[in-house]
Chains A and B, each alone.
Chain A
Amino acid sequence: MTSAEVIDKVLANIDKVMIGKRDIAELSVTALLAGGHVLLEDVPGVGKTMMVKALAKSIGASFKRIQFTPDLLPSDVLGVSIYNPKEMEFEFRPGPIVGNIVLADEINRTSPKTQAALLESMEESSVTVDGETIRIPQPFFVMATQNPIEYEGTYPLPEAQLDRFLFKLKMGYPKRGEEIEVLSRAEKSVPIDHLETVLTIQELTELQQAVKEVNVDHTIKTYIVDCASETRNNPHVYLGVSPRGSLALMKSCQAYALIKGRTYVTPDDVKYLAPFVFDHRMILRSEAKYEGITANEIVERILMRVSVPIDRVGSK
């Protein structure tokens, strides 16, 4: 069974519970395979949690959920050392972050201190409490959500920290027919309960290895860098995409190519993924914001302008 077929099984599995959200599922799997994390920005009730649960169940991984509240402390996320009178020593009790797939719900509701703890452990894939460092078991995939409509009592994530997330996605409402289908499926039972595991953690690790083998041609690298440097030169952009952003785009392209059953990246992959990777890594100028220009529009414009390489380097 090829990698693409294996992944297709996972996606089909998710499809059983998430109707009409194939693209989001694909992107989530892409992030998972690329070893990145996803920030879902959407209103409550569109199925963010369901998506993550379905993904976790499909791959037989442990699933943890952290509901962020203003009074949540870093130790509530990372874990805490507790004195064990029997053993006469401190014992580390890992927090909810130590899991394979973690849903960090409403991340902008908690204090920056707690946010920082989460983001740091995402970046390092490890937890440090009382000088003791504990590696978080792989695969480790965080899907954070934030609610974009409520501002009172929230602590928006600093833009500079947003690039800890590989993608920023929007879920969106289902279409009319899709929503009816959601209702029909949930009429008698909860679909997620019947979901089977189709991928072992071992297989997932192998897939993550396979991603690294996907070929990225020199022309594609040039194209990625051209796109990234365009964001830096754009007059509407205050801070463009960093080299880390270019790297993230390349890695996600590799994963996406694997999902599409290819062993090489094409410019189409780059064009498709660039908005998800770049949008949250740019800081726009205030003037642009007043004019109502969004980061997504700028990325789209850049993609319309940068020429796609269709030749070998140097030959005309």
Chain B
Amino acid sequence: MKEGRTDMRFLILMYALAFVLLWEWLLPVIELTDTEYIAVFLYFIAISFLFGLLKMRWWLSVPLKLIYLFWSLHYVFFESVMLSRETVSLLTQDLLSNIGIIAAWNWEGITNPFRTVLFFVLLWMTIYLIRHWIEVRKSILLFYAMTVIFIAVLDTFSSYSAEGAIFRIMVSGLLLIGLLTISRISDRHGRKMGTGMFATFSLPLLFAVICSSAFASFMPDRGPVWADPVPFLKSVVQGEGIGSGNFVSKSGYDTDDSKLGGAFSQDNTVVFSATVPKKQYWKIETKNTYTSKGWEQLSSETLPVNIVPGSLLAFDGADSLPEGTGSLHAEINMKEQLPYLVYPYGTSKIHTRTDVVLQNREETGQFWVMKDGEETELDSFGIDIVEQKYSLTALRETSMDDYALESVDFTEFLQLPEQLPDRVRELALDITGKEESVYEKAKSIERYFARNGFMYDQQNVAVPKGNEDYVDQFLFDTKRGYCDNFSTSMVVMLRASDIPARWVKGFAPGEGKTNSRGKMEYTVTNNEAHSWVEAYIPGFGWMPFEPTIGFSNTTGIEYDLETDMSDPEAPEMEEREKPEVDRAETPAKKEEDSGFIAFFSKTDKFLRENAWIGIIGIAVLLVIAWNVYKHRGKWIPKLLINTYRKKKTDWDMYTKQYKSLLKQLDRFGFKRTDSMTLSEYAKTVDRHFGGRRMRMLTEAYERGLYGGYTNHGDWAGLQEIWEDLINRASC
């Protein structure tokens, strides 16, 4: 309090190090949520620290930060558009509209600009806390520990790779802690440190940290001693084997889809791994005929097309394949033998060993691997991918009339069983009726499930019996299910709306990790077996859609709309953040690209389902905690006596003992005002307890404190008196 404020240069150094730590917090958040504007947040942190350094008064710094916040929002959501009256009022309206949304407890309804505001506020508070830790408490250990734990958890459970981050955090965090300790020591001695003195203290620290971290980084890495615990944890969390018991099948790829429904359990067997820079949906085949119970492929077989490995593919209609801007390469290593290939969207070339021929069956999209006329298997193969980009503007201009212009026969993709209940058709028309373009119609169905209380569930999934229709049952009765339910329902509803659609089977992207060569490697297990939807959009061809809650469609939609800001909830924002929205509201998932999030959502589901137990539990814990706190006067002395008995007795220990006694007496009811001397206090205490124990203890303390007699004293004797007194004072 009376010590001088921390030296300016020192503070700059501290803030710089804290900035690095905060940056490490931001990086994974940005990477995992696909937020693109990290610089905006970094500038905010920098500005906040700068204001702190300049000791700016709050009435100046708060408005400035708010202005910056508003400007950032404007920049993020309107980008190139100049700041104008309309944009500002739009943004303001949008932000204000959230008040109502929050008042209605509709957390999912919060708009993206407001989400960003909340994130800024979180950052603001964090920075404030860090400044408090650095300037007042001069201790950052808690924040440092949290940073390490946060990064470690992310590294373990998500696709975020924190190898570099851990190193940076170690160095900057250790430096920060060390420097703050030096500053604390200088405070304790009540004097400011000169530059020379400071250097003398900090240079060895710098040397130690840099040397040890450099040494550590050059040392060879050792492989993990334990097996990766993540799959085990996940299977425990997801409750394998606790299922309903009937209709339990293992997840995985199965060619027979004629009877869908029923629960299934986890199967962590790795099917293949793919080294590819971006997440891909791995397609195997499509099916065209819905039978009310499942899917079959009923069309007449066309002649398979033989493809020489390495040649340019022209399937799917080369003219409809959108122009790609970037090309990627994927290396696939099969762990389980399949006679057909898994391939991503935009596959342009397939590289295999030369002694095989690939047979493409156009009606299902399957690639069979043939050798000398017999089915065979590949251990590995490579695929060139042309990244697909769809212009959103063009997609929105598609019309139902355009189908007439297409030369394809859509009959098989509009097939629906005759016994399909009418309410399914009505629902489909109800959903799509409001939309104009084909694309928007499809999108509205895709969105329908997440917005109407459908649940993702692998266990409690019904099987249609008798005359029941699989889709009807899911849409109107159970509303619970996994990918097959969602995708089949979407196909059926698309067809009911006269949009040609087919059912696609394959694998979800899998779990990504940086491999030893620094490339992203996705591991796909049987749990990633997945089904989704392809709809034929006139002028574009077959486009994938993802109706299943918790999964995100990776189709490259280009948001090339004219910046028409008449609607603050412009679709582009919605699209960009869609995956995140899904994650936030999905109660559970089967196969998720990020295990961490799956874990999280499981916990979330558990908490929701057991909310009452949780609330009661928390209440009980609070009551217990309050009682423990309230009666601390009883148990703290016992604890103290035990603690100090074990320690050696000297002046420093005696000081602590005496101080704890003062605290205990205070709890007991002897209040000491600041202007009361210790011996005056001791007299009142002794008057109550009789004898002169407190005076003896105080005399010894004063001898040490004011007289400097700290070397010799009857510490053992004093300890006895102390124990006696603190026992009496234990309420």
Q: Which A positions have Cβ atoms within 8 angstroms of B? A: 215, 217, 219-220, 262-268, 271, 303-308, 310-315
- Which residue of the partner chain, among B190, B678, B706, contacts A313 with CB atoms under 8 Å? B190
Whole-angstrom distance between the Cβ of A213 and the nearest chain B Cβ: 12
The A/B interface has a contact count, at CB < 8 Å, of 56
Q: Would you call the interface of chain A mostly helix, strand, loop, or mixed?
A: loop
Known contacts A268-B677, A306-B675; is A315 also within 8 Å of B188 by CB? Answer: yes
Contact B675 A268 (CB under 8 A): no
Contact B674 A219 (CB under 8 A): no
- B680: which A residues are within 8 A, CB to CB? 268
Known contacts A215-B707, A217-B707, A217-B708; is A314 also within 8 Å of B677 by CB? Answer: no
* Closest chain B residue, CB of each to CB of A307: B674
Contact A264 B706 (CB under 8 A): yes
Whole-angstrom distance between the Cβ of B182 and the nearest chain A Cβ: 14
Is B676 close to A, CB under 8 A? Answer: yes
Question: Which of A271, A303, A308 has the most CB atoms of chain B within a 10 A radius of its CB?
Answer: A308
- Which residue of the partner chain, among A215, A306, A307, contacts B708 with CB atoms under 8 Å? A215
Sampled A-B contacts (11; CB under 8 Å): A215-B707, A217-B706, A264-B706, A264-B709, A266-B677, A266-B706, A306-B675, A310-B662, A313-B189, A314-B187, A314-B188
Q: Which of B530-576 contact A (CB under 8 A)?
A: none
Docked complex Cα distance between A268 and B187 (Å): 27
Docked complex Cα distance between A310 and B188 (Å): 15
Contact A314 B3 (CB under 8 A): yes
Known contacts A314-B187, A314-B189; is A264 also within 8 Å of B676 by CB? Answer: no
- Which residue of the partner chain, among A262, A263, A308, contacts B677 with CB atoms under 8 Å? A308
The 3 closest A-B pairs by CB, nearest first: A264-B707, A307-B674, A314-B190
Q: Which B positions have Cβ atoms within 8 angstroms of A? A: 3, 187-190, 662, 673-680, 702-703, 705-709
Question: Which of B3, B674, B706 has the most CB atoms of chain A within a 10 A radius of its CB?
Answer: B706
- Which residue of the partner chain, among B3, B189, B705, contacts A310 with CB atoms under 8 Å? B705
* Closest chain B residue, CB of each to CB of A302: B675
Docked complex Cα distance between A308 and B662 (Å): 14
- A268: which B residues are within 8 A, CB to CB? 677, 679-680
- A308: which B residues are within 8 A, CB to CB? 674-678
Contact A220 B706 (CB under 8 A): yes
Contact A304 B708 (CB under 8 A): no
Known contacts A314-B3, A314-B188; is A219 also within 8 Å of B705 by CB? Answer: yes
Docked complex Cα distance between A215 and B3 (Å): 25
- Which residue of the partner chain, among A263, A303, A307, contacts B707 with CB atoms under 8 Å? A263
Whole-angstrom distance between the Cβ of B203 and the nearest chain A Cβ: 24
- A313: which B residues are within 8 A, CB to CB? 189-190
Known contacts A313-B190, A314-B187; is A217 also within 8 Å of B705 by CB? Answer: yes
- B703: which A residues are within 8 A, CB to CB? 264
Contact A266 B675 (CB under 8 A): no
- A220: which B residues are within 8 A, CB to CB? 706
- Which residue of the partner chain, among B675, B706, B708, contacts A303 with CB atoms under 8 Å? B675
* Closest chain B residue, CB of each to CB of A270: B677
Contact A312 B675 (CB under 8 A): no
Docked complex Cα distance between A304 and B680 (Å): 13
Whole-angstrom distance between the Cβ of A303 and the nearest chain B Cβ: 6
Known contacts A314-B187, A314-B189; is A307 also within 8 Å of B705 by CB? Answer: no
Contact A219 B706 (CB under 8 A): yes
Whole-angstrom distance between the Cβ of B181 and the nearest chain A Cβ: 14
Known contacts A314-B187, A314-B188, A314-B189; is A215 also within 8 Å of B706 by CB? Answer: yes
Contact A305 B677 (CB under 8 A): no
* Closest chain B residue, CB of each to CB of A216: B706
Docked complex Cα distance between A48 and B674 (Å): 38
- B707: which A residues are within 8 A, CB to CB? 215, 217, 262-264
Docked complex Cα distance between A23 and B3 (Å): 40
Contact A307 B706 (CB under 8 A): no
Contact B706 A265 (CB under 8 A): yes
- B675: which A residues are within 8 A, CB to CB? 303-308
Docked complex Cα distance between A219 and B702 (Å): 11
Whole-angstrom distance between the Cβ of B415 and the nearest chain A Cβ: 80
- A306: which B residues are within 8 A, CB to CB? 674-675
Whole-angstrom distance between the Cβ of A278 and the nearest chain B Cβ: 15
* Closest chain B residue, CB of each to CB of A271: B677
Docked complex Cα distance between A95 and B3 (Å): 54
Docked complex Cα distance between A263 and B699 (Å): 13
Docked complex Cα distance between A271 and B705 (Å): 17
Whole-angstrom distance between the Cβ of B489 and the nearest chain A Cβ: 66
Contact A266 B676 (CB under 8 A): no
Docked complex Cα distance between A307 and B681 (Å): 13
With A266-B706, A314-B189 given, can you name 18 additional A-B contacts, CB distance below 8 Å? Answer: A217-B707, A264-B706, A264-B707, A264-B708, A264-B709, A266-B702, A267-B706, A268-B677, A268-B679, A268-B680, A271-B677, A303-B675, A307-B675, A310-B705, A311-B705, A313-B189, A313-B190, A315-B188
